[in-house]
Amino acid sequence: SLLGLHAQNAEEANYDESKIPPFTLPALLETANGQKVTTSQQWEQTRRPELLSIFAEQVYGKMPEGKVDVSYKKLDDNHSALDGSATRKQIEITFSRNGVERKALLLMYLPNHVKTKVPVFLHFNFQGNQTISADPEIIPSQYSKEARGNQASRWPLQKIIDAGYGLATVHYFDFFPDDKDKHAESILALFGYKPGDDIPADGGQAIAAWAWGNSRVMDYLETDWQVDASKVILMGHSRLGKASLWAGALDTRFAIVVANESGCGGAALSRRQVGETVNRINNVFPHWFCKNFRRYNKKENDLPIDQHELLALIAPRPLYVASAEGDRWSDPKGEFLSASYAGDVYKLYGMKGLETTTLPPVNTSIGDRVAYHIRTGVHDVTDFDWENYIRFADKWLK
C-alpha cells in the first residue's frame, strides 16, 4: 500500500560506520559440508556451483526452462555513422515460444578503422536506444517516448569507437518493463506466465530477465561477423549493474564484467546495511529479486551468502567494480570491500585482485585482475568511468 511504502521510505538509512551491526561474512572458500577450498579445481567443481545455486534460489531467482525460438532481422547497417567513423547496426531480435512473441531492439556502433573482429562493450540502457545519442537514425525503443540524446552524457560513443571498441545496447524494458506489475509484458510471458499468475518463491523476476537478456544479446553477437565474441565486456550501471553481475556469474562467455555503482543486491555487502538495505529494496522493488530474498528482510545475518561471493563467481575473468563518493545509497565502502574479498578466488588462479582493504583515494583506479575506483560526483556514468573501463579492457583484451 501507499502507506506501507511511506513507512519504508521513512526507515532511516544508516551511513555511520560505527553503527554497523557486528557480522561475520560467510566463508567464501569453504564448501557446504565444511571442506576448505584450496585449488581452482575445487572451486570450479564444488564451491562455484554451490554458490551459483544459492544465488539462484535465494536471491535472483531462476529463469524457467524451455526452448525459445529466436530470429534476427537487420533493420539498419550503415557504414557512415558518427561522421564516417562507425558502422551503425540495428537488429530486431524476436523471441517466440508457444505462440507468444517478444521483441528486443539491439543498437550497435562498430569502429570502421578496425579491420578485424572487434571487442564490444555490451551495456543496456535505461531510457530507450534513441536516448544514448542525438543520431537521428536511431529507431526509438518500443517502450520509450524519451527524447533523442537525453542520456548522451552517459554514452561517450566517439571515445569508445576511437579506442577500437564496439558498443551494443538494448533498452532494458524490452526484457522486463521495470514495474512491479509488468510480468505479463516481460519475456516471462514466453514461458507461460499469465497476468495474475504467481511467481514461484525461487522464480526469477526483473533482474533475472535482464540478465537473461544480456545472454541473448551475447547469442546474437556470436553470430555477427564483425564482432569478436570472445571479447565482450558486459557493463551495467546501478540496477543494471546488479543484473550484469548476475549475468556474468551465470554466463562465462562474457570476457569482462563491469559493475558501475551496483549497490545493494549488486556489489555491496548486504550485511553492512549501509544505505539501501535488503528490506528496503525488496519493499520498493518487489519485482526485482526472487520472493525468497524477502526472507532476509532485516535478517541479513541469515543470508547463506553475501555479495563478495557473487563477485567471486566472475573469477578468473577480469572484474571492475566502481563507486561514486556522492552515491552513499550504494555503499561505496561495501562495494569496495566486497571486491577486495572476492580476490581470494583470483588467488587460486595465481592472479591478483585489489590486494588491500583500505579504500583508495578518490579518482584513482587500483587493482589488477579485479579493479576498483571511487570517483568524485554522484550516481551516474561519466567519462572518467568509461576511460577507466576502456583502459582495463585494453589491459586484458589487447
Q: Which residues bind ligand GCU (CB under 6 A)?
A: 238-239, 263-264, 276, 281, 329
Name the catalytic one among 40, 186, 238, 340. Answer: 238
* Shortest CB 261 distance to ligand GCU, Å: 7
* Shortest CB 13 distance to ligand GCU, Å: 10
Q: Label each residue of the chain as H, E or C.
A: CHHHHHHHHHCCCECCHHHCCCCCCCCCCECCCCCECCCHHHHHHHHHHHHHHHHHHHHHCECCCCCCEEEEEEEEEEEEEHHHCEEEEEEEEEEEECCEEEEEEEEEEEECCCCCCEEEEEECECCCHHHCCCCCCCCCCCCCCCCCCCCHHHCCHHHHHHCCCEEEECEHHHCCCCCCCCHHHCHHHHHCCCCCCCCCCCECCHHHHHHHHHHHHHHHHCCCCCEEEEEEEEEEECHHHHHHHHHHHHCCCCCEEEEECCCCCCCCCHHHCECCCHHHHHHHCCCCCCHHHHHHCCCHHHCCCCHHHHHHCCCCCCEEEEEECCCHHHCHHHHHHHHHHHHHHHHHCCCCCCCCCCCCCCCCCEECCEEEEEECCCCCCCHHHHHHHHHHHHHHHC
Q: Which of 227, 226, 212 is nearest to 175 (CA)?
A: 212
Cβ proximity to ligand GCU, 146 vs 276, nearer residue: 276
For residue 244, report the phi and psi dihedrals to the nearest 5 degrees.
-65, -40
Cβ proximity to ligand GCU, 182 vs 239, nearer residue: 239
* Shortest CB 311 distance to ligand GCU, Å: 16
* Shortest CB 219 distance to ligand GCU, Å: 25
Cβ proximity to ligand GCU, 102 vs 239, nearer residue: 239
Task: Respond yes or no: is residue 379 known to be catalytic.
Answer: yes
Cβ proximity to ligand GCU, 58 vs 323, nearer residue: 323
* Shortest CB 15 distance to ligand GCU, Å: 15
Cβ proximity to ligand GCU, 89 vs 333, nearer residue: 333
Cβ proximity to ligand GCU, 205 vs 238, nearer residue: 238
Task: Respond yes or no: is residue 238 known to be catalytic.
Answer: yes
Positive/negative CA dihedral, 288, 290, 291, 295: negative
Catalytic residues: 238, 379
